[in-house]
Amino acid sequence: MSLMAGQLPGEGHKYRPFLDVAGSTVVQRHVDAVLRGVADPHLVFAILDEHDRRFGVTDTLVEVVAGRCTFEIVRLHERTSGPAQTAVRAIEAAGIVGPVLVSDVDHAVDPRSLLLASGQPGVACVLPTWSLRGEDLRNWAVAAVAGDRVVGIQEKRLPDGAGEFVGVIGCYWFADAAELARIQAATSARYLSGVVAAVIAEGGTVVAVPMEQADFFGDQARLATARARMGGHVGTLFCDLDGTIVEHEAKPRYDVALRPLPGSVERLQQWRDQGYLVVITSARDAQDEAALSRSLDEAGIPYDRLMLGLPSGPRAVINDRKPSSSLTPQAVAQEVDRDEGLVRVPAPGRQLEVRRRMVGGSGAETLLVEDDEKFFVRKRVMVTPATADKVERLRQQYRQLERFGHLSPGITPALYGESRDSFEYYFDLEYLQEHREASTCTADEQERALQDLHEALIGRVYRSVFRSPTPIPDWLPAHVERKIAAKLPGLRETPELAAILDADVLIVNDVRLRGPIAAIDELLKLDGGRVLAPRVLGAAHGDLTLENVLWRPGDVRLIDMDGAEHLDALELDFGKLLQSVDARYETWGHDPTPRVRAGAVGEYDIDLPDASVIDLGQFHATWAPILAATPDQARAKGAFYLALHLIRMAPFRAEESIGTAQFALLLASRYLGSAREMLTS
């Protein structure tokens, strides 16, 4: 019986039994090993319905096994408490009686020696065992073995019992499937090791069979080792000897043993197991290569080649970034303190594949990337003198994602880390393949997505805010100065944009309006900080458009934050959402189709955005208490802050289309005019 009904992978994660192993898959390697060792087998696969739905498990298993032996697939409708209960459910569903071999698919082990040992009289269970040298006990069921008898077993720690401690490979032979089911029901054992412990406690005989060969696929390091064993070298690792691998000697001697530094032998072996060619480098005299080679062998230091006679000064590795591996660093440097050893040195980089280029902001390239275990999103910027501002902006975005994740766990995709070198800055985050951008949803779905969003913002993100009993008058002029006035010189370099920005009066679709800068100045004087200034400061997203809201029913995630302040006006988030639901930015922001027709000086006709697909009255009513405002005040605030966002986006839109930037500024004038009407009515 093969157990495949493990923990449900998260969004973006692959189904481990189908991962590639040197041109095959994990489950194929597992099945091949079983079929080599069992004559006329009948295989039973235990899978989860959810796995079958997401990954097509049944169809793939049929391709793997059909024509090779008899088999059946047991589909479990819900998760079990663990492997032991999974095995019992499959035994019952398949009607298995008598002896049974229960195995996880995350390894490939030849069971012939187990079956041979099972022929001993009175044996209740047989276990394959593995040396624990260099292993983390937390990854194993640990058995105490005296002779060939298992006298104790415990999951993830040393068991009671006098004997040699060994790891148990997850492939268990039981003499009686009914007894396995009885003991699991009586003990509620989660792991099969718990069932074995009960067998021992009842006086049953459990035999251990040491294994010299097995392939493991249960985590990334083991998967890499299996691939390396089957597929050859994956890269080259250069490592200094003295002070890095062994204790530093000012004058090397070969009549005394080398003293390996803590963790260094194990780390070198790990890298070799993962397929790296290990080259030990040293300034030691090349004439001493034979003597050094003997010393390394005597000290048990694994390596492939020696490179001696090098200068003792700095060593640089220079390599080109391969177009075929555009995300995999080809030259990596790591320094350690003298005699510290290799314990802190990370494993070499993973091999990554780009699957799709995605739409993204922040001036960054956004990629859907695949590694051994999952799909994920990488946002990156090439590091050059001209991209310093883009790198900093992307770094700030990562900090904001971290901050929101701490404030409200689960409100953002999971972060997998950031990195910067001489070539690029990037960060990786969870790929939410079952979520969609709210901007792509239907009208009904957008209503539901906004409801989920508002519940998340009010209940989780905006819980810790500063509330002032009166408006905060100094905040708004400072914001206009930093975020609007600072952009004007660049916009004025384009005559078509300067003509709109600096106009005292504009005629847009036959409606008389103030130019955007004149309108802002007039509104600030007219309002006097009574309505438009914020009263609530909190953790503002800063770019809360529907493109940056990922949704599936009942769950929202926020991406691409653009707020740099620890506390900011929540009106910024309100205005950004209105940019999507009122100004309908997503329908025109990336569309080069001309929407502006200039007439006489200061006169324009524009194609207005489509009407909102949501109830704007209800939207304003929802936000009014968030902003400590009345619904009418919220409408005025919304129009004003939406206009500010449209002006702020103009420089970015101008990089793609001057016409789109013109359209954004003319829309801003209309919304500023609406804000004035609301304040004076």
Give the pLDDT confidence score for residue 636 in this predicted structure. Answer: 96
- The answer to whether residues 428 and 369 touch, using CB atoms and an 8 Å cutoff, is yes
Are 454 and 421 within one domain? no
Examine residue 343 and state whether it is found in any structural domain, yes or no.
no
Q: Is residue 225 in some structural domain? A: no
In a domain, 24, yes or no: yes
Q: Which domain CATH number covers 396?
A: 3.30.200.20
- In which band, very low, low, confident or very high, does the pLDDT at 667 lie, cut at 50, 70 and 90? very high
Task: Tell me, yes or no, whether 376 lies in a domain.
Answer: yes
Average the pLDDT over 248-269 and give the result: 90
Non-local (6+) Cβ contacts of 109 within 8 A are 33, 103, 128, 169, 171, 211, 213, 214, 215
Looking at the structure, tell me whether residues 64 and 152 fall in a common domain: yes
CATH number at residue 279: 3.40.50.1000
* Residue 201 lies in domain: 2-216
Count how many domains the chain has.
Answer: 4
Same domain, 34 and 174: yes
The span from the CA of 264 to the CA of 273, in Å, is: 14
Average pLDDT over residues 69-86: 92
Report if residue 335 sits inside a domain.
Answer: no
For residue 77, name the pLDDT band (cuts at 50, 70, 90). very high
Which of 314, 341, 366 represents a domain boundary (last residue)?
Answer: 314
Average pLDDT for the chain: 90
**Rounded Cα distance, 341 and 620, in Å:** 61
Pairing of strands 70-76, 603-606: unpaired
Distance CA 662, CA 644 (A): 14
Please tell me whether residues 359 and 272 are part of one structural domain: no
Final residue before a domain boundary, out of 190, 216, 242: 216
Say if residue 262 is in the same domain as residue 391: no
Report helix, strand or coil for 675. helix
pLDDT at 670: 96
Q: Which pLDDT score is estimated for 49? A: 92
Three-state secondary-structure class, residue 157: coil
* Coil, helix or strand at residue 57: helix
Confidence of residue 529 (pLDDT cuts 50, 70, 90): confident
Same domain, 631 and 508: yes
Helices (H), 349-442: 388-407
* Phi and psi, residue 653, nearest 5°: -70, -35
Q: What is the pLDDT of residue 56?
A: 92
Q: Are 451 and 619 in contact (CB under 8 A)?
A: no
- Among 216, 251, 284, residue at a domain's last position: 216
376/519 same-domain check? no
Q: pTM, whole model, 2 decimals?
A: 0.71
In terms of domains, do 518 and 631 share one?
yes
Do both 212 and 273 map to the same domain? no
Whether 469 and 558 map to the same domain: the answer is yes
CATH number at residue 618: 3.90.1200
In a domain, 515, yes or no: yes
> Mean pLDDT throughout 533-559?
92
> For residue 408, what pLDDT band results from cuts at 50, 70 and 90?
confident
Residue 92, domain member (yes or no):
yes
| Strands of 431-548, DSSP E | 436-437, 466-467, 505-508, 511-514, 536-538
CATH number at residue 15: 3.90.550.10
For residue 68, tell me if it sits in a domain: yes
**pLDDT at residue number 99:** 93
The rounded distance, in Å, linking the Cα atoms of 538 and 564 is 12
* CB-CB contact of 200 with 151 (8 Å): yes
| pLDDT bucket at 534, cuts 50 / 70 / 90 | very high
**Residue 564 pLDDT class (50, 70, 90 cuts):** low
| Shared domain check, 284 and 419 | no
Q: Are residues 492 and 531 in the same domain?
A: yes
Geometric angle at alpha carbon 10, from 420 and 344, rounded to 5°: 40
Q: Sign (positive/negative) of CA torsion 189, 190, 194, 195?
A: positive
Lowest mean pLDDT among 4-18, 418-432, 472-486: 4-18
